[in-house]
Each structure stands twice: as structure tokens, then as C-alpha cells.
Structure 1
């Protein structure tokens, strides 16, 4: 699109004072005014502030142009850090300064949207719509508003993502445990899933596993612990070993209480009752610092039990509420699972030996499936036609599938949904200053195969009489595989 040269003055007419058509056009030349209007609108879209510098209020234009150039420089700097200094970028937005940085970014984004609205309105004023051709008189405002709505809505969405990030960080990491270095080269995290449905006397951990992340390579090993595993030792420094604190010898804690109505059994998932429900102090006497560090007595006792079982230090936990589990799957856009056998949905039979066909509310069919949240939840919970060991394997499949689904594209496009689901789904004592490191390790983990250890009879671990020496040997072999010694001939 080009602007026509100004017309020469006719004999006897007053000479033209200015020959710059953008700032001082011939208002009587409608085609010229139309072309000028489109130029101003395009400049306002491509380089906000430039239309005012060339044709309007130069002070406003310089301010708008400066803000635009500053925004470009910040975006270029952020892109450069994402490519070449990603840990530093993640630290800025998840570390100790994250609240300040995220608030500043949100203010800048919203402020720029307001500035762009002002610049757009001023640009349309400079166009002088009454002087342009009839078609342009309607097309110019419509085009300006559409572009402003498109770009402005994107900027406003970015500001809501920033707000969600700030809210999620505050909600999830408001209380946390001490920041500790890796133990023997690994960050070990207890992953707990609870199913506190109607009719349950307490919230028991029906999914128990330990995620071990190599602090150098990001390689992930997940060890599944059966919920009914019994006769386990607690960690050496656990308060559960002190009979004066517990009230009885931990080695006989299954029969150690005298409250017959409390009703807890010998499985590890019954520690909630043993530590909290069946004690008058709700476990505070055993773990007085738990609440302050973003945990609970029953979680800390389960950590101590998992440490004793596996023979490794487990400083952190992530608790997943199974009622919000479906929301996270949906926020991620679903997960892909290969179903090996037909599984029923539903809460189980109304009376003993009732066939699944009579009580199931639906079925999960064998084969490749892209599961939504509701189906994935039942895939993890279904147990009435299979045993607990099969259920453990399915839960591990979902854990791996969720890890695979956390791609940068998914996180960016669904961030608000993921953040909202995460704050409802997850409780953790992970310290916030570890997030940059954990984020980098998660990106490395996505490129590697996840190692799975299931403490099941198929692997020689009997639920009622586990060989804990064998368990610890299995874990050490997985986390620290022996290196091959070169033969004398160098092969």
C-alpha cells in the first residue's frame, strides 16, 4: 500500500504548508485519507506507539514506542534464557523471588494492554474516519478492534497464567520441609494416594510408592509398596521405635493398642489409624513439627516405615487426593494407556460373590485407550475382579503416563487448568527452592525409561512375611547397579 504524492498547488491557491501526508494530509482527498488510515492502523498493530510518533501526539507515541521496545527486549531476553540459561529462568519464576517476579510480570502485562487500548483509540482519532471512503470508515475500526481483541485477550490470558502460577506456588509450597541435598545421589519422594470415600472411617493411603530421582541424570525409579505390607521395621531414628512415645513396642504395634473399637489392622496403610485416629493427641506427640513443615503425623510415620522397608532416606512426600485425580488427568488432556484386561467401574458388590455384571456402572475395555479423568480414576481404583498387586501395576502405569503427558506444549496451553487441579490434588512438603532443580530433572526424566520395582510375590516378596533384606537388595541394585570390571585383556 503506498501513499500518493501531494498535489501541486494550483495558480492563485495558497501554498501547502506541509508535504508529509501522514501528519498533515489533504483531508479533501478521500482515497489518500483511506490509504493513510490503513497505514496508521497497521503501524499501531505492528509497532504500537509508532502511529502517534508519525501522525499524532509525539509524547504519547514515544511512551508507547518505548514500552513496546522494552517488551520486545524482555521477550528476547526470556527466550534467550529459555534456550541457554533455563535453570536461571526457572529460578526467577519458582524460587524465593517468584512472588515478586510474577506480580511484576502480571502488572506489566495488564498495564501494556491498557496502554494498547489507549493507543488504538488515539490511532482511530488520528485516522479522521469522517474523511475516509465509506468502506474504510467501517472496516478500519472493525479491523482495529478485532486485532486488539485477539492480541489483548492473549496478553490477558498470559496474565491469568502468571496469577495462577503465583497462587499455585503459594498454595502448594506455603509450608515445606527443610531443603536437603540428595541422599546417595538421589532425591527420594514418598508418593501417596488416598481414597477417602463415603463410609471410610479415615483417610488411608491405598497407593504407596517411592519415586527416586537421580540428582545428576534425572533417571526415575518408582518402587511400589503394597498397602497391606506388614511386620515392617521403621527407620532407625523414627519416634515409632520409642515405646514411651508410642505407648507400646513398635515391633508389636499391630496388637499394641487396647482400643478394640478403633479397628485398625496390620497393613502399612493402617498407620493413619495407629498414629492419628487412635491417639488422643492425634499424633502431635510423635511428630510435633509435622504441620509446620507441610506434613501430618500419619504421613511422617509412613515415611519412616518406607525408609525402614527400602533402606533409603525419604525426606519429602507428595500426597495425591484421589477425588481430585480425575481433574488433573482432564487438565492434561487425558492419558494413553494399553488396557490388558476388562475392568469394571463402580464401588463394588452390594453383597458377597455378586457378579460384576450386576453392580458395575461401566467397563474399561482391553486395548489402546485415551482415557479421560473418570476412566483413569477407575483404572487406578478397580480391584474387585483383580488383586491389589494388579492394581499397583495399573497405578504405576498411570504415574508414568502422567509424567509423559507433562510436555512443555501441554503445560503452556493448559496451564490454568493444571494449576487449578494441582492445588486441589496435591499436598507436599517439597521446599520451593528445590523447584528449579526438580524442574530440570523432570525434563531430563522425560527422555529416559522409568525403572519400576514392584514388591509383589511375582518378584519374591510375600505380603504377609516379606524378606526385607531382599527388598533392600533389590532397591540398591536398581539405584546403584554394579559397574562391570574390565577384564585383564581390556575387554
Structure 2
């Protein structure tokens, strides 16, 4: 693991916490009530160029990052990196990719988890797995690649790795969680440091066990079920972060994870987003691409996830952004015979699916 040089959630921001790592849960704690110590730790997450893990990347093209003026939709890309196989000076591919989207007008927030093996256009470089964009051109190219795929302008990123995720969970004292089935996998990398061995049942997961849970993908649906597990676990982490004791010790929590986090969010940006988070509620979450638009392709002998229809995917993202799952579905209007005055014939027609 390479050394690192030197985000929280509002009660309504329950599912956006870490990108398989840390999340903006650590951002919202900075809404101004926890003092200079917390603000100092948050400021340390925006690394100077010489201390950035991306300092050695020299992309062929400079990618401009869109600015957020505070009134339009804002999108944050959350990246969890797996640096185990990276050589010194190399950047790890994104092991998990999430996009948190907020509308300051409607006060709705949405979360998208992007399948890392999705084959996408990387501007200026042709097509490749979406998780390789960060190794080619750093965070700006990754933001551009994912943003183009979703039809969104992504203004910010938060990046961390396995050790940052484990540090957060351990600092919280672990997370009580119901593991839905036995999970076992032998990983020969790093002297089996990242083997997975979990038993089914409700249990306290420390940082190591929690990482095993969110990484497991060795079942029939592979990454499809893994991204769902990650979203569910992040909800549990968010609930834990909002407990009084963890809010009190927020400075210590930030100190434990700050060395592993890198972001282009300034403290001012964090404060603005924190206020927006306090005012927002969850609209919906979704996987990208959705199952109906997934195609299993083979490129150079390797399996990748293709997108059946790029335009349909853009439409799907906008459809998700229009959803608000906090609003109950309207009840169907009662039929004229709902009071019991109908005939057996009308009951039969209803049973046949006719109105």
C-alpha cells in the first residue's frame, strides 16, 4: 500500500456516504457547527499537487472540469480504488464508481452505482473499461467519461482506497449488519490479505470484514449484486454516522480517514454541499447500466459490459432523476362495485385484467 500524504451526511442524506470508501458523510459534518478542527481536517482532503497520488499522470489532453455555481444540478463522483496490483507511482483502476446527484431547486438527491467493467467512450482515447479512465487521465478524465455516459456534468470527485474504507469502519467501532449468505473467496494477492470468509447472519463487521462484504462478487450475478450490496451497506454506515456519539467525535473520525482521501472539493464547496444535503431528501438509487440495457461483450478475449443503446441509457438516467420514492404511489380508484354491489360477471372480468 502506498503511503498517503496528509465527507458526513445529514439525517436526510442517508444513502450517500462513501464510494466503497469514505463519502460525503464526512462533508456534511462540516456545516459549520464542529469548529476549526473539523474544517482543518476537511481542508486536508484537497491535496496539493506535489502530494497528490495523481501527480505523475500527464494526460495527452487537458480535460476541463465544469464549475458549479450553486443553483444548477451538482454531481459528485465517488471512487474507490484497488491499489494492490499497482506499482509504485501507478494509479489503481476504480474498483467502485458511484455518482451522487443533487438538484438545489427540487431538493432531491439521487445515487447511481456504475458497473466498473462497462465499456465506454473515453474522449481522445477510444473505448475501454470505464474504470480505466482514471489511470489514463486522472480524475478529470474519469469525471468526463462517466459524465458523458450518464449525460451529466460532473463537477467534483472523492477518491479513496481499501485502507480508507477500513479506517472509517474501525473508527466507528464496526457496523452491525445482516450478511445475507455465506461468502468465501481466496485472493492470493498480497499474501492473502484480502481473502473473503464471512458467515451468514446478523453480526458486527469491523473494517476488514466490512471490506470483505462490499467486495464480494463471486456469485451468479457478480458485479450486479455487488453494487447493490454496496448501496445497502452505505445506508447502514450513514445511519451509524448520524448517531450522537459519532457526531461528537467527528474530528477524530476525519483524522483517521483524511490521509486516504483525495478530492477537488474545497472547504467552501463542502459547506455549500453540506447545506444542500441538510435540505435534501433521497429521490431514488439505480445501477448503471440497468439490466435491460446490458450486453455481455468480448473485447480482445476479455469479457466487458456493453451498453445496448446509448440514447436509451441517457433517457433512463433522466427518468431516475425525475423519481421521488418518498412520495407514495397513488391508490387505484375504487371500481363502481367496490362496495359489494357488483355482479359475479364484473368480478370475473376484473380477474381477467380488464377495467
TM-score range, shorter chain: 0.5 to 0.7
- Report the structure, 1 or 2, having the larger strand content: 2
Deviations along 1:62-88, one digit per CA (max 9) or x if unpaired, are xxxxxxxxxxxxxxxxxxxxxxxxxxx
How far off is 1:411 after superposition?
A: 3.2
Correspondence for 1:369:
203
Q: How many angstroms apart in 2 are the aligned matches of 1:301 and 1:401? A: 31
Residue number among 111, 129, 150 corresponding to 1:267 in the alignment: 129
Distance change in 2, residues 1:216/1:338 (3 Å):
farther
Correspondence for 2:146:
306
Correspondence for 2:43:
170
Q: How many angstroms apart in 1 are the aligned matches of 2:66 and 2:316? A: 29
Distance change in 2, residues 1:186/1:399 (3 Å):
farther
Distance change in 2, residues 1:182/1:336 (3 Å):
farther
SS at match of 1:213: strand
Correspondence for 1:195:
82
Deviations along 1:256-288, one digit per CA (max 9) or x if unpaired, are xxxxxxxxxx31112244x2xxxxxxxxxxxxx
Q: How many angstroms apart in 1 are the aligned matches of 2:226 and 2:31? A: 38
- Report the structure, 1 or 2, having the larger helix content: 1
Correspondence for 2:118:
229
1:318 aligns with 2:158: yes
Asked if structure 2 preserves the Cα contact closer than 8 Å seen for 1:179 and 1:434, the reply is no
SS at match of 1:464: strand
SS at match of 1:313: coil
Q: Which moved more, 1:433-442 or 1:472-481?
A: 433-442
SS at match of 1:439: helix
Q: How many angstroms apart in 2 are the aligned matches of 1:399 and 1:359? A: 23
Q: How many angstroms apart in 2 are the aligned matches of 1:202 and 1:209? A: 18
Tell me the matched-pair count.
Answer: 269
How far off is 1:226 after superposition?
A: 1.2
SS at match of 2:101: strand
Q: How many angstroms apart in 1 are the aligned matches of 2:76 and 2:92? A: 20
Ranked by relative contact order (alpha carbons within 8 Å, sequence separation 6 or more), the top structure is 2
Distance change in 2, residues 1:306/1:411 (3 Å):
same
How far off is 1:384 after superposition?
A: 3.4
Distance change in 2, residues 1:270/1:308 (3 Å):
same
Q: How many angstroms apart in 1 are the aligned matches of 2:159 and 2:134? A: 13
Q: How many angstroms apart in 2 are the aligned matches of 1:218 and 1:345? A: 41
Q: How many angstroms apart in 1 are the aligned matches of 2:45 and 2:158? A: 10
Q: How many angstroms apart in 1 are the aligned matches of 2:243 and 2:30? A: 13
1:341 aligns with 2:181: yes
How far off is 1:167 after superposition?
A: 3.6
Question: Which consecutive residues of structure 2, in runs of 5 or more, have no partner in the other structure?
Answer: 1-28, 50-64, 296-304, 328-355
Correspondence for 2:212:
378
Asked if structure 2 preserves the Cα contact closer than 8 Å seen for 1:329 and 1:373, the reply is yes
Q: How does 1:144-293 map to 2 (within 5 A)?
A: 162=37, 165-173=38-46, 180-182=68-70, 185-198=72-85, 202-216=91-105, 218-230=107-119, 232-233=120-121, 240-241=123-124, 250=125, 253-254=126-127, 266-273=128-135, 275=136
Question: Which consecutive residues of structure 1, in runs of 5 or more, have no partner in the other structure?
Answer: 1-88, 95-100, 103-161, 235-239, 242-249, 255-265, 276-296, 351-357, 484-491
Larger Rg: 1
